[in-house]
Amino acid sequence: MDGVILMKVVLKLSGKNINPNKTTFLKPLVDLWQKGAQLVLIHGGGPQINDFMERMGKKPSFVQGLRVTDQEVMDITEMVLSGLLNKTLVGMLVQHGIAACGISGRDAGLFLAKKHTIEHEGQFIDIGWVGDIIQVNPQLIETLWGNRILPVVSPISGDSDGKSLNVNADWAASQLAIALRAEKLLLFTDVPGVLLDPLNPDSLIRDLSASDIPLLFQKGIVAGGMIPKLQMIQTVLQGGVEEVFIAGGASLELLDQLLEGKSIPGTRVTR
Ligand SMILES: Nc1ncnc2c1ncn2[C@@H]1O[C@H](COP(=O)(O)OP(=O)(O)OP(=O)(O)O)[C@@H](O)[C@H]1O
Ligand SMILES: [Mg+2]
């Protein structure tokens, strides 16, 4: 990656992208930061939370791609996301010479959330302590950037009573990108992008217009964890973000080319 990059980027890593035994995925992030970009990393942690839930005798379950979160699951999720996984990622970045600082949506009131409600065919479905972000206070991120410290964000948020809520990491990344007026929102995941057939990696949709997203939902093409990713994109693009890119971890290696405007494998979503 040559030259200076003056760009605000919110980059979300899936839990599946974070492997402490294989740190090559960090190199493009380190390069981007060292070129001067204003970068925020935000992370999910699906497999790690599942693993700890199973160790504690609990079975993960999801509704519309959102984790059903009772109080015990909330505690596990907060411990894993804001604790173990966040600090693992920070530790790896520090080892690569980056002054990274791990925070959660609760720190300095970064994300204020309220309980998410799901209604299906007139019925209210209770999925527990899942949150929607209603306000972002980016002051802490800007303070860290001002001191060239890289923020690494866990999406766990606080509500107006100070209680923790489990916010989907794609939603948190989306709200953060809007609040920071980021140029790009990059969502890295465990599939090559949005697929016409989720079982066929060759069915990648490379260019997607936000206005086509409702059709993908209608046709039942979007399921599981892809639901929350796509639900927020229209809002993100209307909120001023130029482009959302959804791609597999392998495309991280081509991050420099992506930021130079070149086409790399993944789904580019624009207005
Ligand atoms: N049309 C589709 N195209 C691609 N993936 C899809 C589609 N429909 C459903 N999916 C599922 O969405 C999953 C990605 O979401 P998931 O929540 O599992 O991961 P993530 O959000 O990247 O990670 P984390 O939850 O750890 O933040 C894929 O693994 C795939 O199974
Ligand atoms: Mg997910």
- Output the residue whose Cα is nearest ligand 1's atom 14: 225
Amino acid at 180: L
Cα 105 to Cα 153: distance, rounded to the nearest angstrom: 7
Closest CA to 242 of 223, 203, 222, 270: 270
What residue ranges line ligand 1, CB within 6 angstroms? 14-16, 44-46, 169-170, 189-191, 194-195, 198, 221-226
Q: Which ligand has an atom closest to residue 192 CA?
A: 1
41 touches 89 (CB < 8 A): yes
Which burial class, exposed, middle or buried, applies to 173 when counting CB atoms under 10 A from its CB (0-12, 13-18, 19+)?
Answer: buried
Indicate which residue's Cα is closest to atom 17 of ligand 1.
Answer: 225
Mutate-to-test residue for ligand 1 from 226, 245, 251, highest number of ligand atoms within 8 A of CB = 226
Pocket test for ligand 1, best of 154, 166, 189 (most atoms within 8 A of CB): 189
Ligand nearest to the CA of 223: 1
224: left (phi over 0), alpha (psi -120 to 50) or beta: left
Using DSSP, state whether 67 is helix, strand or coil: strand
Angle at 185 between CA 172 and CA 67, to 5 degrees: 35
Delineate the domains of the chain, giving CATH numbers in brackets: 8-270 (3.40.1160.10)
Q: pLDDT in tens for each of the 271 residues of the chain?
A: 568 888 999 999 999 999 999 999 999 999 999 999 999 999 999 999 999 999 999 999 999 999 999 999 999 999 999 999 999 999 999 999 999 999 999 999 999 999 999 998 899 999 999 999 999 999 999 999 999 999 999 999 999 999 999 999 999 999 999 999 999 999 999 999 999 999 999 999 999 999 999 999 999 999 999 999 999 999 999 999 999 999 999 999 999 999 999 999 999 999 9
